[in-house]
Amino acid sequence: MLNPDPVPVLAALGDATRLQLVSRLAEGESLSIAELTGGLGLTRQGVTKHLRVLERAGVVSSSRVGRESKFSFEPEKVDFVCSYLQSVSDQWDEALSRLQNLVES
């Protein structure tokens, strides 16, 4: 199995409004667009556009509850990106350590 591509998740999370939405959803409760719109200073359509970006990246999912869509946080993609970034950080630490050893010897 191929490793997932971290770029769509990083791109989706690269916006302050989308980070706020993820933060609200990460508290564990599924929320409607109306519930998520409060306090953001955006229209429902604006929030919907941001949620669709997050949904395409796999960071949130939606389900219909009556006439509303409820959105939920899906931590797996974010967990993968965290692991990926830790791996990149470890590689840089190793490279810097090798460079330091070369300079000091």
Of the two residues 73 and 4, the one the predictor is more confident about is 73
For residue range 29-43, list pLDDT tens digits in order: 999 999 999 888 899
CATH number of the domain within which 30 lies:
1.10.10.10
Domain hosting 100: range is 7-104
Strand order in the sheet with 31-32: 31-32, 68-73, 60-65
Q: How many domains would you assign to the chain?
A: 1
pTM here is 0.78
For residue range 44-98, list pLDDT tens digits in order: 999 999 999 999 999 999 999 889 999 999 999 888 888 888 888 888 878 888 8
In a domain, 1, yes or no: no
Question: In this structure, what token pair is assigned to residue 89?
Answer: 């950080």
Q: What is the C-alpha end-to-end distance of the chain, expressed in Å?
A: 42
Of the two residues 19 and 4, the one the predictor is more confident about is 19
